[in-house]
Amino acid sequence: MTLGPLMIDIEGLELTAEDRELLEHPAIGGVILFTRNYESPRQLAALVDEIHGLRDPYLLVAVDQEGGRVQRFREGFTHLPPLSCLGRIYDRDAARAKHLAKVTGWLMASELRAVGIDISFAPVLDLDFGISTIIGNRALHKRPEIVADLAYAYQTGMHDAGMAATGKHFPGHGFVAADSHLALPSDDRPFEDIEQWDMVPFRRMIHYGLAAIMMAHVVYPRVDSQPAGFSKVWINDVLRGRLNFQGLIFSDDLSMEGAACAGNHSARAHASLEAGCDMVLVCNQREQAQQVAQALVDYRDPVAHTRMARMHGRSRLSLDDLHSDPRWEQAVAAVKGYEQSPELDLDL
């Protein structure tokens, strides 16, 4: 059985009979976990192992574990500072900031890999223009070249831990005030401005081997009338064509209000896939997820399946082995230190 194009969520701390039945549907390719799915690292490891045991090749398991406001697993995991902390350090000491970005990426990914999780949707590549509250301190910096430098270091740390990186939200979510969870934001800038600012981190990260990209639920009317995640212009012409990106393309959550312009959930999924996305997310809407799965029952894309398979995690340590590793102890100390005292010079 191949991996299908749909990633969905589950309700609780363990799989129900309904979960198992749905996850065995051929249209499903992955599961995204939330805080409600987490009680302890060992419970989480058992849940992920059960999900992985359902299929061959096994379903991708993902989470948003950026740090700051967006960290789904907290107690039992290292508290991760907002990514903007790294940008503030960069302004004083670029070399130290890049080192800490690598340490943070490794720590985040290592702790997730120890419980079997394949993907953290990170790092954020949006720019902090001081406009978007939903992005805000999730962004590394306002300058694109600094975002690219830090994101590359962060990705290197993730790779060292056995996890591929996912940059988001293409082509850039930082210049709009509206929250795409609640509305469809519109960015009225011309393509040239977006290309010279927002797209720079994406372009450089693609050059550095970025494995996956998540699209933005933002419309850029001077480029295309469709939001980026439903736009052949943005996905095929720009991302695949101009930027020559060959990795996996995720939609953002199709249950968000920013996706409602494309119709019901099944229509949204078809529109996103037809525009060029490889995998679509439907979160927190079980009935709609079931409908989308049925609508995609005959959908096949061998190239997308190959891209998905490359997102499977590698080199998993046990929790006990990770916690006894001196590198983990040093990384935890570094991450705690730079959020509490950004000027502290930690020699790791």
Which residues are catalytic, by number? 181, 252
> Is 44:74 a contact under the CB 8 Å cutoff?
no
Supply 150's token pair: 């830090």
**Burial class of residue 92 (count of CB atoms within 10 Å of its CB; 0-12, 13-18, 19+):** exposed
Pairing of strands 70-71, 65-67: antiparallel
| Sequence letter at residue 222 | R
Hey, which residues does 253 pair with through a beta bridge?
A: 281
Amino acid, single-letter form, for residue 146: I
What Cα–Cα distance (Å) separates residue 288 from each residue in 9, 272, 292?
12, 16, 6
3-state SS, residue 123: coil
Break the chain down into helix, strand, coil percent, rounded to 5. Answer: 45, 10, 45
Task: Report the b/e string of 143-155 with b at 16+ CB within 10 A.
Answer: bbebbbbbbbbbb
Backbone angles phi, psi at 28, to 5 degrees: -85, 135
Q: H or E element: which one contains 120?
A: strand 119-120
Helix pair angle (199-207, 144-160), 10° resolution: 40
3-state secondary structure of 254: coil
Give the separation between CA 62 and CA 52, rounded to whole angstroms.
12
Helix (H, G, I), strand (E, B) or coil at 316: coil
User: Would you call the peptide bond into 57 cis, given omega within 30 degrees of 0 as the criterion?
Assistant: yes
